[in-house]
Amino acid sequence: MIEIEKEFTCIVPDYLKFFKCDWQYCGAACCKGFQVDIDRQTHQKYKSISDQNLRRKILDSLEWNKSTKTYRMRLENAICPMLRDDLLCTIQKNFGEEFLSDTCADFPRRTYVVDKVIERSLSLTCPIAARLALMRKSPMKFEKMTFKTTHAASFFYRSVNEVPTRKYLVILQQIAFEVLQDRRMTLNERLTALGIIFSEIDGLIINGKGEHLNLIFGIYRSEDYFKNLTAKVRSLKFQRENYLSIMFELAEKIFSKAVVYFSTEQRNFTKYVAEAFEFIDETNKPFPELFRLYDNNIKIYKKIALDPFNHVLENYLVHSFFGGIFPCHMSGSLMRNYLLFLTLFKFFEFGLISMTAVIKEDFSIDDLLEFVERFSKRVDHATKFQQIILDYIINFEEYPLEVMTSLIDFAI
Ligand code: SF4
Measure the CA–CA gap between 227 and 212, rounded to whole angstroms. Answer: 22
**Nearest atom within ligand 1 for CA of residue 125:** 1
pLDDT recorded at residue 62:
93
Rounded CA gap, 15 and 321, in Å?
A: 16
134 SS3 class: helix
pLDDT above 90 (res 180): yes
Q: Which of 107, 121, 123, 381 to mutate to test the pocket of ligand 1 (most atoms within 8 A of CB)?
A: 107
The 10s digit of each residue's pLDDT in 221-238 is 899 999 999 999 999 999
* CA 139/CA 376 separation, integer angstroms: 21
Ligand 1 pocket residues where CB is under 6 Å: 21-23, 26, 28-30, 107-108, 126, 128
pLDDT in tens, 53-101: 999 999 999 999 887 788 999 888 878 899 888 888 899 889 888 888 8
pTM of structure = 0.90
101-137: pLDDT as tens digits? 888 888 888 899 988 889 999 999 899 999 999 999 9
Mutation test of ligand 1: which of 15, 19, 21, 87 has the most ligand atoms closer than 8 Å to its C-beta?
21
CA of 107 to the centre of ligand 1 (A): 8
* CA-proximal residue: ligand 1, atom 6 (nearest): 30
Residue nearest to atom 8 of ligand 1 (CA): 21
In this structure, the strands spanning 142-149 and 6-13 are antiparallel
- In ligand 1, the atom with minimum distance to the C-alpha of 26 is 4
CA 108 to centroid of ligand 1, rounded, Å: 7
Q: Where are the domains of the chain?
A: 22-107, 162-412
Average pLDDT taken over every residue of the chain: 88
Looking at the predicted structure, is the pLDDT value of residue 184 above 90?
Answer: yes
Look up residue 32 and give its DSSP letter: B
Report pLDDT digits (tens) over 249-307.
Answer: 988 887 765 455 545 556 677 788 889 998 876 667 889 999 999 999 999 999 999 99
In this prediction, what percent of the chain has a pLDDT beyond 70?
94
